[in-house]
Amino acid sequence: MAGDLFVRNMDWPGAEELVARLRKTIDPALLNDGDESPELVAAQQQMQAMQAEMSQMAAMLQNVEQSIENREVEIKEFDAKVKAYEAETRRLAAVQNSMQPEQIQDIVMGTIAGMITSGDLVAEMPGQELMQEPVQETIQEPIQPGVMQ
């Protein structure tokens, strides 16, 4: 326990370096000169713990503030989209009121024709196979009540 004190008083080359190494192996409580009271040490430890807790709380507060800012940006973006849709709806309503039904029908037919030629509109329903043979119509005679077939 007193190895560092013993070596410090020796007249060797490198004695101070050996003292530094020995001090690293000694319990810090033993190295204390006894100047500090246990109450003071406890208070310092408590202050360090409180500082660490305050640092954690500051980091949490910063995260919350960042989350609030991100949410505000998302809300503003959503509001902008809503306003854009409302403007488009008002524009379409104004255009629709100025058009005749025949003009609307021509636009719809042109859109459908364009979709068919570009392949965006499927000519058949999904899951249905194309019929290879022509469909033959069969004419059935009407069923008369009371007559067995």
The 10s digit of each residue's pLDDT in 22-49 is 777 877 666 666 667 788 888 999 999 9
* pTM beyond cutoff 0.85: no
Instruction: Spell out the domain ranges in the chain.
Output: 32-115
- Whether the Cβ atoms of residue 130 and residue 121 lie closer than 8 Å to each other: no
Give the angle 54-56-61 at the CA atoms, nearest 5°: 90
For residue range 51-103, list pLDDT tens digits in order.
999 999 999 999 999 999 999 999 999 999 999 999 988 888 887 777 788 88
